[in-house]
Structure 1
Amino acid sequence: MDWQMHARRLADEIDRPGSCWAAAVADTPRHLLVPRWYERDREVGGRVVRDGAADPDAWLAAAYSDTTLVTRVGALHADAAEPGTVVTSGVSTSSSTEPGLVVSMYRHAELTDGCRTLVTTGTGYGTALACHRLGSDLVTSIDVDRYLVEAATGRLDSLGLRPETAVCDLTHGPLPGGEYDRIVSTVSVPTIPAAWLKALCPGGRLVTTITGTGLILYADKTPDGGARGKTSYEPASFMAARQGDDYEETVPASVWGEAKYGDGEASVSRHLLVFVPETWSVRSMLQLQIPGIEHRHRWHPDRGHTVWMTHPDGSWARAHAPAPREAATVYQGGPRRLWDPLEDILDRLNWLGELPVYGARVTITPDGETTLTRGGWTATL
């Protein structure tokens, strides 16, 4: 199977020829690390398990595209499912991140020769790229999921790559292996774990994304044991860190029921209707202000659009616009209002033309308390 041609094409697509990361992408057989994956199929109304060996052309096309390949939905990994299995419910719980984004995270980390580096495992593709750049002896790869670690370890070994691997909850630690010059997490965290700061060498750098936002955060360890850095101007989002086989339900079904059918307090929105997850900066601002909001939406056959917002505390909001450029009617209920802060954020965006979440200064205390500031704006995770 001539995978190298496809890998070189992918490398040229995501980085400049001759760079160290282009070389890593070109020399890494991603398809061998993702033998099965889930693919959305609108005709069947769900995600279908694809088996690479059964269709080599489709395998190479998927593996060497700059696309995230979902490998697990809920507790069911594609490796354990029969090819053709259709999954109609559940959220993605593991994947092979799009190669360009992995490279971007490593560029934010400024990986250089001799950097002892901790990365997260998933399928092992990001680990393979790090091993290519640094050498396996300088890379440690961890994941909370034992199967993912064992599968990736075996597949990496077949490629001649033998980093240290371990099963570990990176959000709590302790992290294995002593001190690191770099920690790069391709799963998102709600705040910076104190365990990361303890495991970083003086001057070492951490890079991660913040759960529920589109923020890449990078920071260097300071002499007091904390860290300072910035949020990138480049948006990105990863799956949230989990502790079990699946994510726990945070918003009860009863709250979603209220959001769909409740009367609540009615008003008319000052802005055209937006679905928050599709607007990077608005999503990030709202998450920082009210962590934990969940979102759903639906386009109706008559071109109407309805969005719902819920929160674990029982708060909810529903907004419906009868057409794309018509005013939305908003209903809100529960202990606090979820739509009102969104309106304020949109006011600020319209007035200033941008939101302060990107390019913000980051200050992290030794216990992990993280504060973002830009101009007169500040937010603490």
Structure 2
Amino acid sequence: MKWLPLARRLAHEVVRPESRWHTAVATVPRHQFVPRWWEAADDGLWRLRDGGSDVQSWLDTVYSDQTLITRVDAVHADTVAGPDMDIPFDGAPTSSSTLPSLVVRMYRHAMIDDRDRVLVTTGSGYGTALACARLGDDLVTSIDVDEELVRMAKDRLKLCGYQPQVEVCDITGTLPGTYDRIVATVSVRPVPLSWLHALRPGGRLVTTIAGTGMILTADKNADGGATGRIEWDRAGFMQTRHGSVYEQPPGDTWKEAAEGDGEEITTSRYPLLYPPDAWDVMSMLELKVPGIDYRRDEDGDARAVWMLHPDGSWARATTTGRLESPTVHQNGPRRLWNELERVRNRLNREGALPVYGARVTITPDGATTLTRGGWTITL
């Protein structure tokens, strides 16, 4: 199987040749970590892709700079067998092999030195393998909350010649050691206090804030807290979970949002927006109202966007023309679309939103505060 030229090509695409990460990307066999994956179809369902059934397509896919979904709800692609392999699957992604360029960007934000002891998140194990190739096994610890994922990743790492410390561990809880760098390719809110306890003095943490595209970097201070910033770079990761799947909004809330009139019906002053398509808007809104679930549908010129919140609030905006103002239905204790329009009002008024480039202060007791100019928010 001629995978090495493809890995080298990928390395040239995602990192400069003089980078110390170039050799890692060029030599780690990503196909060993993603023998199967879930591919999104136009109907919103997931279809299983099996690398062994079309080896060339498999290699072309895994050695391209894209994220590959390996687990949907509690079903890992590798565990599907028999007739189930041909059945489309409905659910939410719960694990993946992150696009290689983003893994490297997160590691570069960490400013990792050759002697740094690092904690990383496991997923498929590919990112862990890159860290091992760069630093050596003894300096790498990899954790995941899911026992099945840890077992699979550990076996594949060993097959590729890497034997770092790999453990089942909830990254929001007590960590299994002390580190110079913590790099989480899952998102959190707020930064777990256990990270401060596990970081050595002067150590750096890198993560993303849940529900946003914001990369947070911070260095540990002598007082036990940390200071840093929201990078101008952007990234999106799955949120931390404490079980095998994510909690979903109650079915009755979704049914009401899809069909009900709601308590308030208005006309928006702005064109229809799906917030995940505008990361700065989504990030600003998520900081104020965390936990919104976004959904959309499109049929020709007819379009709809839904916003659902765990407290039972929902909003539905619909339009039948590209230039028409959407009709908005809202219900529940919060008016979610009104909150979105406040963010858009600020963007129109000021020309920018203050989220990216904000200063980050984490107190020794774990309170995380973002400030930029006169704007401030504590997570």
TM-score bin (small chain): over 0.9
Alpha-carbon distance in 2 for matches of 1:90, 1:240: 15
Task: Give the partner amino acid of 1:6.
Answer: L
Corresponding residue number in structure 2 for 1:34: 34
Is the CA contact (8 Å cut-off) linking 1:181 and 1:204 kept in structure 2? Answer: yes
Corresponding residue number in structure 2 for 1:18: 18
Superposed CA deviations along residues 10-61 of structure 1, whole A, max 9, x for unmatched, are: 111111123211111001100011111112233x762222221221101101
CA drift at 1:65: 0.6
For residue 305 of structure 1, the aligned residue among 303, 306, 325 is: 303
Task: Give the partner amino acid of 2:6.
Answer: H
Corresponding residue number in structure 1 for 2:52: 53
Change (3 A) 1:49 1:366: same
Do residues 151 (structure 1) and 152 (structure 2) align?
A: yes
Do residues 272 (structure 1) and 274 (structure 2) align?
A: no
TM-score (norm 1): 0.96
Corresponding residue number in structure 2 for 1:128: 129
Alpha-carbon distance in 2 for matches of 1:157, 1:88: 31
Alpha-carbon distance in 2 for matches of 1:216, 1:45: 28
User: Which stretch shifts more, 50-59 or 122-131?
Assistant: 50-59
Corresponding residue number in structure 2 for 1:111: 112
Task: Give the partner amino acid of 1:146.
Answer: E
CA drift at 1:104: 0.4
Alpha-carbon distance in 2 for matches of 1:297, 1:338: 15
Q: Secondary structure at the match of 1:379?
A: strand
How do residues 1-381 of structure 1 correspond to structure 2 at under 5 angstroms? 1-42=1-42, 46-82=45-81, 84-172=85-173, 174-176=174-176, 178-249=177-248, 251-263=249-261, 264-301=263-300, 303-381=301-379
Alpha-carbon distance in 2 for matches of 1:88, 1:355: 38
Alpha-carbon distance in 2 for matches of 1:102, 1:63: 14
Query: What is the RMSD computed on CA atoms of the aligned residues?
Result: 1.3
CA drift at 1:367: 2.4
Tell me the matched-pair count.
376
Alpha-carbon distance in 2 for matches of 1:166, 1:50: 28
Q: Secondary structure at the match of 2:212?
A: coil
Superposed CA deviations along residues 300-356 of structure 1, whole A, max 9, x for unmatched, are: 23x021111111111111111221111111121111211111111101111222111
User: Which stretch shifts more, 252-261 or 266-275?
Assistant: 252-261
Alpha-carbon distance in 2 for matches of 1:298, 1:218: 35
Superposed CA deviations along residues 54-101 of structure 1, whole A, max 9, x for unmatched, are: 211011011101000110111110110137433331100111000000
Alpha-carbon distance in 2 for matches of 1:319, 1:238: 26
TM-score (norm 2): 0.96
Alpha-carbon distance in 2 for matches of 1:254, 1:75: 22
Alpha-carbon distance in 2 for matches of 1:306, 1:48: 25
Task: Give the partner amino acid of 2:320.
Answer: P
Is the CA contact (8 Å cut-off) linking 1:49 and 1:82 kept in structure 2? Answer: no
Superposed CA deviations along residues 89-131 of structure 1, whole A, max 9, x for unmatched, are: 1100111000000000000000111000000001110001111
User: Which stretch shifts more, 49-58 or 76-85?
Assistant: 76-85
Task: Give the partner amino acid of 1:113.
Answer: D
Q: Secondary structure at the match of 1:183?
A: strand
Superposed CA deviations along residues 144-191 of structure 1, whole A, max 9, x for unmatched, are: 11111111111111111111111100112x111x21000000011121
Structure 2's unaligned 5+ residue stretches are: none
Alpha-carbon distance in 2 for matches of 1:296, 1:248: 16
Alpha-carbon distance in 1 for matches of 2:153, 2:251: 36
Is the CA contact (8 Å cut-off) linking 1:45 and 1:88 kept in structure 2? Answer: no
Is the CA contact (8 Å cut-off) linking 1:317 and 1:339 kept in structure 2? Answer: yes
Task: Give the partner amino acid of 2:145.
Answer: V
Alpha-carbon distance in 2 for matches of 1:291, 1:179: 30
Q: Secondary structure at the match of 2:95?
A: strand
Is the CA contact (8 Å cut-off) linking 1:46 and 1:86 kept in structure 2? Answer: no
Is the CA contact (8 Å cut-off) linking 1:187 and 1:241 kept in structure 2? Answer: yes
Alpha-carbon distance in 2 for matches of 1:60, 1:39: 15
Q: Secondary structure at the match of 2:284?
A: helix
Q: Secondary structure at the match of 2:109?
A: helix
Task: Give the partner amino acid of 2:19.
Answer: S
CA drift at 1:261: 2.2
Alpha-carbon distance in 1 for matches of 2:359, 2:105: 19
Alpha-carbon distance in 1 for matches of 2:178, 2:195: 9
Is the CA contact (8 Å cut-off) linking 1:320 and 1:328 kept in structure 2? Answer: yes
Alpha-carbon distance in 2 for matches of 1:205, 1:373: 19
